[in-house]
Each structure stands twice: as C-alpha cells, then as structure tokens.
Amino acid sequence: MSLTRRGFLIGLPLLLAACSSSTRSTSSVSMVSAYGPIADERFPLPGLNARLIKPELRRQQVDYESNHAAGTIVVDTPNRFLYLVQDGDKAMRYGIGVGREGLALRGNAYVGRKAEWPSWTPTANMLRRDPETNGPYRNGMPGGLNNPLGARALYLYRNGNDTMFRIHGTNQPQSIGLAMSSGCIRMLNHDIIDLYERVPSGTRVVVIQA
C-alpha cells in the first residue's frame, strides 16, 4: 500500500556535500540479533526471512566521511541508503525504499515528532488517485502490523511545518531497495525501531536526490 505524501518537490538546495567517498562495512549485525522476532512490542514482530534482505541493505556500521555532525540523518536516495552519522568518520547504514520520481523530499528537514505504531490516513490526492484502494481508510487506519507506516514513524518538519514526509517502517520488506512509495522513506520495521531509539526529536535530516 502506498503512503500518504505530497506529490511534489519541496525545494531547498540539494546538499551533495554529505556524500561519502567510502562506505566500507566495518561491523555487520547478525541476522538473528538484528532481525529476529521482537516479542515485547505492542504488536509483536516476527523474525524476517534473510532471503528477503540483500546483504548490502542490512543494518551495518560503515566508514563514512561526512561534513555533518554526529547524530545527523543523511538519506542517500539514489543509492537507497540512510546513514546515521557517528563520530570517527563512521555511520550506521540502513537500506531504504524511496518515493517514485517526482514524489520526493530534498534538502534539509528535522524530526518534528516521533510515534510508535502510528496511525495512517490517505491524503486527498491519494484518495483521488486510487479511491478503490485508499477509500476504505479515508477516516484513518490504526497502528498495527498491517499499517503501511509500520512500527515507528519519524515526522519530518521544516520551519515549524510538517512536510508530510516520514521516515517509517513498512509491512512490505521486499520494497526495501526500490523506488515505489508515495514519496516517503521506508525502512524495515526492525531497522526503524533501531533508528527510533537512537535519535531524539529535533534531529537534523538531510535528503540527497540525484
């Protein structure tokens, strides 16, 4: 199911300086510890099938040279990676799914708020584009395993205003590494839970587009 987002570019200058010249993996996380069952959630998560996740898209610490301060989230849309910048030219790297061309945020934003097992409501544009699929949820869908926002959501703001873009989980793990959503940044539920615990509200976000 597509996600609720605006189908236009929110334009601030594209920031290319954040690109890393080297992202050699320095610490891979085992599939069992990173993607096994999570029983202590409001909606317990089953473990992920390793065959659904390409090795390069799995959570891992990498070498990452950046001009951004530690704690910054850098979304490398063309390469389908999200980096959480760390000290010592390192970053935690996550595989992501991204929005289709023309449905993408770019430039600077920040995490305006965070939510666990968020509810989801299609926008008016989504209802017009696909009333058959989205119409039943015009009044909202509560959080849960079938919700397209997944286990967590980071709501991206700019100048005090909600951009309507999110970094969030997904109930479609096979979509990671692809461009198929309505503009947002989707992560494996296990990975968005990990990122959610690492970043506070107010965290700076830089989104790089091709």
| Bridge pairing between strands 90-95 and 98-99 | unpaired
What pLDDT is attached to residue 183? 67
Distance spanning both ends of the chain, measured CA to CA? 25
What pLDDT is attached to residue 25? 66
What pLDDT is attached to residue 156? 97
Identify the architecture of domain 25-208 in CATH. Beta Barrel (2.40)
Active site residues: 168, 184
Contact 28, 50 (CB under 8 A): no
Is the entire prediction scored with pTM above 0.95? no
Handedness of CA 180, 182, 183, 184 (dihedral sign): negative
What pLDDT is attached to residue 56? 95
Q: What is the mean pLDDT of the chain?
A: 85
What pLDDT is attached to residue 26? 64
What pLDDT is attached to residue 28? 58
Residues of the chain with pLDDT under 70: 1-30, 101-103, 181-183
